[in-house]
Chain A
Amino acid sequence: MDNLDFTNLFFDDDEFVVDRPSIEEESITFGGGKYTSKVQAPHYIPSGPCPSISEMMDTRKYEELIKKINASNVSDDDKRFLRLAAARHIVFNFGKIANYYTYADKELQQLMEDSALVLIDFNDAVRNGFIKLDSRIDEFVDAQLALEKEEKLELGA
């Protein structure tokens, strides 16, 4: 165990906070200043030229597996199963896919939505939900801080 080299397994410092999106990558909209308390819906803002199909996904691992499956001696049923399972290794870039969506025609857009390749915030329901939630938390924080201030004053008196 002591001889194993784990150097390349360490995440960057940023990765200490795991599961988090990159701010730049997500193009998350912020209200107010950079350090605002305001919570807003994480709407993605598409930008840039229309990506090509190959830019939206990385199929290298998938193709490698398909080659092996096709060259194998397993039954046709097993091959069919393995080919479908190999699709789990296709890497989809949802940022690029969202960009592609904005250039798509109505029919393609609908099919992309049906497949959950993008999510549409109809009637701004999520955005407005966050605005309302944020406002409620503002009221809550103000009330909590006021309570503390009042108690401090009472203690002082």
Chain B
Amino acid sequence: MRDDFAVFILSHGRADNVKTLKSLQNANYKGKYFIFVDDEDDQYDTYVKNFGKEHIVLFSKRDMVGTFDLFDNFEQRNTVNFARNMCFRIARQKGIKYFAEFDDDYSQFTFRYLDDPEPGDTVPVLRSKVIRDIEPVFEAFVDFLDDTNVRCIAFAQAGEMMGGAKGNVWLTHVKRKSMNTFFFKVTDNPADDVWFVGRMNDDVNTYVRGGILGELWFQISRINVIQEVTQKNNSGLSDMYRQFGTFNKSFYTVMLSPSSVKVGLIGPSDPRFHHSINWNLTVPKLLHERYKKK
């Protein structure tokens, strides 16, 4: 793996269970990695013991207060955006030019491919396999960031792939959003650094805001990440979910873009509140240059 790339894993209170690192190692990742731990985490010593000090980035959440917009005036600091907003700073300190920003609960990285239709059917079967050698994927993503002016690219979430080869996510392949597995390029200008905004739903807020302002944030469906089920984890954001449910969470993005984001219920059983973004009303279209008059 190239030397100017690193994986940043944002963790809290899971020193003995950083699933993402295990998954990366299972996928034969041998490049640089750093686990971001905040100074309010009482498991810091265990992180150091388990992974070695050279792999731990310790930062202060308190110092981050006031440096970015949380959209509210609550006192809590138990959300991930404090760590997210350290990533570009740490990358610059360490001379990292490209990084992948992951949460700590990814159980598998998988790829999708089309297989022959089942007998009597005409539609190919969309299959999934666990990635055994992930570095070529990372290298390809880094080159993509170099070749384009795209702000961020990410894997799709496995849970989005409903419908298989006929599913909307597979058919569209590319979506104007990035979640969970953010791949970024660090430019020479610190003003280009990404700031995640809003205490909750910070990832959605950030790609929506970026999209509104003309940034390109993408995810592709051929590579997937599988993570623990939201709201059932034992640390970090789940405390906020338990306290407020997903109703408050979803409304942070409505506050950001009241003209194009709404909140509704999803889930066939045990429904929960979720944001819904009308992309046609949110982000400008990407056009071929032939439409521009010379």
- Tell me whether B293 and A106 are in contact (CB under 8 A): yes
Interfacial chain A residues near B291, Cβ < 8 Å: 46, 101-102, 120
Interfacial chain A residues near B263, Cβ < 8 Å: 9
A104 to B292, CA, bound (A): 9
Q: Please pick, from A30, A61, A118, the residue contacting B285 in the complex, using a CB distance under 8 A.
A: A118
- Tell me whether A21 and B172 are in contact (CB under 8 A): yes
Distance (whole angstroms) from the CB of B21 to the closest CB of chain A: 21
Contact with B along A89-110 (1 / 0, CB 8 A): 1111111011001101110010
A101 to B286, CA, bound (A): 12
Any chain B CB within 8 A of the CB of A25?
A: yes
Interface size on B, residues (CB 8 A): 76
Any chain B CB within 8 A of the CB of A76?
A: no
Pick the 6 closest A-B CB pairs, nearest first: A116-B214, A44-B285, A136-B140, A129-B148, A98-B285, A129-B147
Any chain A CB within 8 A of the CB of B1?
A: no
A122 to B267, CA, bound (A): 41
Any chain A CB within 8 A of the CB of B216?
A: yes
- Tell me whether B266 and A44 are in contact (CB under 8 A): no
Interfacial chain B residues near A42, Cβ < 8 Å: 172, 174, 176, 218, 286
Q: Please pick, from B166, B169, B259, B286, the residue contacting A119 in the complex, using a CB distance under 8 A.
A: B286
Task: Across the interface, name the chain A residue whose C-beta is closest to B165.
Answer: A35
Distance (whole angstroms) from the CB of B258 to the closest CB of chain A: 6
Any chain B CB within 8 A of the CB of A145?
A: yes
CB pairs A–B below 8 angstroms (14 shown)? A9-B264, A17-B160, A17-B167, A18-B275, A19-B175, A19-B275, A42-B218, A88-B257, A116-B284, A121-B289, A125-B148, A126-B286, A136-B140, A137-B223
Interfacial chain B residues near A84, Cβ < 8 Å: none
Interfacial chain A residues near B64, Cβ < 8 Å: none
A124 to B129, CA, bound (A): 32
Q: Please pick, from B177, B204, B223, B287, the residue contacting A120 in the complex, using a CB distance under 8 A.
A: B287
Q: Known contacts A40-B174, A117-B284, A125-B147: does B258 contact A88 (CB below 8 Å)?
A: yes
Contact with B along A111-140 (1 / 0, CB 8 A): 001001111111111111110111011011
Distance (whole angstroms) from the CB of B180 to the closest CB of chain A: 13
Q: Please pick, from A10, A39, A89, the residue contacting B173 in the complex, using a CB distance under 8 A.
A: A39
Selected interface stretch from B11-19, B130-138, B186-194, B235-243: B130-138
- Tell me whether A93 and B287 are in contact (CB under 8 A): no
Q: Known contacts A11-B266, A119-B214: does B172 contact A28 (CB below 8 Å)?
A: yes
The chain A residues found within 8 Å of chain B, CB to CB, are 6, 9-11, 14-23, 25-26, 28, 30, 34-44, 46, 61, 88-95, 97-98, 101-102, 104-106, 109, 113, 116-130, 132-134, 136-137, 139-141, 143-145, 147-148
Task: Across the interface, name the chain A residue whose C-beta is closest to B291.
Answer: A102
- Tell me whether A132 and B144 are in contact (CB under 8 A): yes
- Tell me whether B293 and A94 are in contact (CB under 8 A): no
Interfacial chain A residues near B149, Cβ < 8 Å: 125-126
Distance (whole angstroms) from the CB of A55 to the closest CB of chain B: 13
Contact with A along B244-270 (1 / 0, CB 8 A): 000000000000011110011111000
- Tell me whether A17 and B162 are in contact (CB under 8 A): yes
Distance (whole angstroms) from the CB of B245 to the closest CB of chain A: 12
Q: Known contacts A18-B277, A98-B287, A121-B288: does B258 contact A126 (CB below 8 Å)?
A: no
Q: Please pick, from B123, B176, B259, the residue contacting A88 in the complex, using a CB distance under 8 A.
A: B259
- Tell me whether A144 and B131 are in contact (CB under 8 A): yes
Task: Across the interface, name the chain B residue whose C-beta is closest to A106.
Answer: B293
Interfacial chain B residues near A147, Cβ < 8 Å: 132-133
- Tell me whether A123 and B289 are in contact (CB under 8 A): yes
Any chain A CB within 8 A of the CB of B282?
A: yes
Interfacial chain B residues near A106, Cβ < 8 Å: 293-294
Q: Known contacts A11-B265, A94-B283: does B220 contact A17 (CB below 8 Å)?
A: no
A41 to B40, CA, bound (A): 43
Query: Besides A43-B287, A129-B150, 7 other CB < 8 A contacts?
Result: A17-B162, A21-B172, A35-B170, A42-B174, A137-B222, A144-B131, A144-B132
